[in-house]
A and B are shown apart, each in its own frame.
Chain A
Amino acid sequence: MKKKWAYLLMAPGLIVIVAFLIIPILSSILPTFHDGDSLTFSSYTDFFKDSYYNQIFMRTLRISIITVVICAILGVPTAYFVSKSNKKIRGILIACTIFPLLTNSVIRSFAWITILGRNGVLNNALLTLNLIAEPKRLLYTEGAIIVGSVYLFLPLMIVSLVGVMENIEGELFEAAESLGASKIKAFFKVILPLSVPGLIVGCVLVFTGAASAYTTPQLLGGNRKMVLSTLIYQQTMTLGDWYGASVVATIMIVTSILVMGTINRLAAKLNERGV
């Protein structure tokens, strides 16, 4: 009896999701596998055969993975520091971490334009220091998109890790030290493996965020360095090619799922039990 009530409670949310998420997704994905009556993958093989599209796909993957790696490298020590600081300071540090998320991503990407632009802060500084003879192209490069994405998604990595690291008992670190592990070894042998659940959440959030971001690659990469999400926009809004956009969208979804699976598997190597 109780179970039936539970289903009833779930119904409103389920109906909304099915009506406005599942059905639209299926109705845009399914036609891409149909060629008249028969099942076909030709739209997908065509996509990957086309060097221009293939390049965009690889670029998206590359940017997202590099962003995830940089966020993890920067995020893990920061998160550990935050989780070990005393309660009062921890609250302030977490607030500082989350604060950038309260600003619109368009505005934050514009900030990078003024820094990376031809006459931007960074070029001017390098010129005055005589390190370069003429302004370098920093904007509209993959590097610019990566910098912008890291800046955008690092807080997600830090917050996911802090949540897990806070709950790691301080005595575990001391126990490792007492058994002959230096502080660095104790960190890699005990703290890092125990942070894996947070690391997985952080990596998945950052990857999906970076792979599907639109504003940052649009503003910092422009039309020179297209990614899948900007490609979808171009195909629908500029070319009116909704079918092609559906193909790209499907590729994005499948890629995200595959990468999440890989992240999970890699993380499991660090901590086989996920505890």
Chain B
Amino acid sequence: MPLLSLKNIDVSYDGKTNILEKLNLSINKGELVSLLGPSGCGKTTTLRVIAGFIEPVGGQFILEDQNFTKIPVHKRNFGIVFQSYALFPHLTVFDNVAFGLKMKKISKDKIKDLVDSILNTVDLSSLSQRYPKELSGGQRQRVAIARALVIEPKLLLLDEPLSNLDAKLRLKMRVEIKKLQRQMGITTVFVTHDQEECFSISDKVAVMNAGEIEQFDTPENIYSNPSTEFVARFVGFENFIDLSNISGNEFHAKGGKKFTINSNRDITKENIKGTIRPDDIEIVDENSNKENLIDGSIDVRTYLGKSYQYNIKTDLGTLVVNGSNNNVYSQGDNIKLYLPSSKIILV
């Protein structure tokens, strides 16, 4: 039984076009789930539906068997960390964190205890009388997290919380967020457009595109086994080959080239695509007798540091391949490419 489920959520601003369409999502207690996708894919909208800032035109939001769809924001008791942090500039760090507790009419002594303890957790005790203006980006971020956590929320919602930090701090903060989340066991929804950041801290990831969830799975499964072309492209698959199924694991590419692909996926579509990462294609000897070989010639070579990247012209279009620094090819070289049957994913 999931803690939270979105059922057939429709969101529309003008009544004509849908920002979210029949969106379904279930999250279990204690999980950290990320909504990942490019800007405009509806991930922030989904978060705002959960938060209660947007009322969906259709569908339901259920939390612990209770219909939350129409419950006003201030009665939901969710902790939200905004992209801009949204700290109250006229209040000190202490008062910012105490704000939610004051709204709950908790006694002053109790408030002081709770605030002191959470500020201690996020390592900000010494700054409690400062104002937000006097803090660094990372400190503001921690105040925002403390403020959201101190009310003991049923859910923690994070809207691109790391995007305003510099790269080094971002790495540090994402570990801290993960640690806090584990420590408090709080169910968390995290919105981001950064794939690496998302994979590093999430239990599960929902990859979104154009108002729909394309794939909802563990980061490992999404990385190694994307279910759609969009997801594949998003996680770094760059080569796509049009295929049609002949029988079993035998496939035909355009021009009759035959491929063997080991896939555990049921293929029901007529026209499918095989996709493979630039890292997984090997450049092999002219007289190799492996299966899934293609002839090609080097078109462009770029240096990436740990490897070279080649754009290779083949009968099946241009393929992107990463090659080692040991064996460097130059433009115009004719080579053979080996596409291992277990590395090709059908989408």
Contact = CB atoms under 8 A, between A and B. Distances in A.
B74 A182 contact: yes
Nearest to A170: B86
A183 B74 CA distance: 8
Nearest to B150: A179
B88 A178 contact: no
B201 interface: no
Given A171-B82, A275-B131, A178 B89 contact: no
Contacts of B148: 178
Interface string A158-181: 000000000001011011111111
Nearest to A182: B74
A186 to B, nearest CB: 8
Nearest to A175: B86
Nearest to B153: A178
A193 B133 CA distance: 16
Interface string A190-218: 10011000000000000000000000000
Contacts of A193: 90
Contact of B82 (A175, A181, A182): A175
Interface in A95-123: none
B84 A174 contact: no
B131 A179 contact: no
Contacts of A178: 51, 73-74, 76, 78-80, 148
A173 to B, nearest CB: 9
Contacts of A190: 88
25 contacts: A169-B84, A169-B86, A171-B82, A171-B84, A171-B86, A174-B51, A174-B53, A174-B82, A175-B80, A175-B88, A176-B88, A177-B73, A177-B74, A178-B73, A178-B74, A178-B148, A179-B147, A180-B77, A181-B74, A185-B103, A186-B74, A194-B90, A272-B90, A273-B90, A273-B131
Interface of A: 169, 171-172, 174-183, 185-186, 189-190, 193-194, 271-273, 275
B90 A180 contact: no
B151 interface: yes
Interface of B: 51, 53, 72-80, 82-84, 86-90, 99-100, 103-104, 131, 133, 147-148, 151
A73 to B, nearest CB: 22
Nearest to A172: B86
Nearest to B104: A180
Given A185-B103, A275-B133, A180 B86 contact: no
The 5 A-B pairs with the shortest beta carbon distances in the complex, nearest first, are A179-B100, A180-B103, A171-B86, A175-B86, A177-B73
A194 B131 CA distance: 14
Contacts of A177: 72-74
Contacts of A171: 82-84, 86
Contacts of A271: 90
B159 to A, nearest CB: 9
A24 B79 CA distance: 62
Contacts of B77: 180
Nearest to A193: B90
Contacts of A175: 80, 82, 86-88, 147
A5 to B, nearest CB: 34
Nearest to B84: A171
A120 B104 CA distance: 53
A275 B88 CA distance: 10
A174 B90 contact: no
B89 A275 contact: yes
A177 B51 CA distance: 10
Interface centre among A174, A178, A185 (most CB of B within 10 A): A178
A179 B86 contact: no
A210 B148 CA distance: 46
A171 B87 CA distance: 9
Contacts of B133: 275
A174 B147 CA distance: 13
Contacts of B51: 174, 178
B74 A180 contact: yes
B89 A179 contact: no
A275 B90 contact: yes
A105 to B, nearest CB: 37
Contacts of A180: 74-75, 77, 100, 103-104, 151
Given A172-B86, A275-B90, A181 B103 contact: yes
A172 B74 contact: no
B67 to A, nearest CB: 19
A193 B90 CA distance: 7
Interface centre among A174, A175, A176 (most CB of B within 10 A): A175
B111 to A, nearest CB: 13
A187 to B, nearest CB: 12
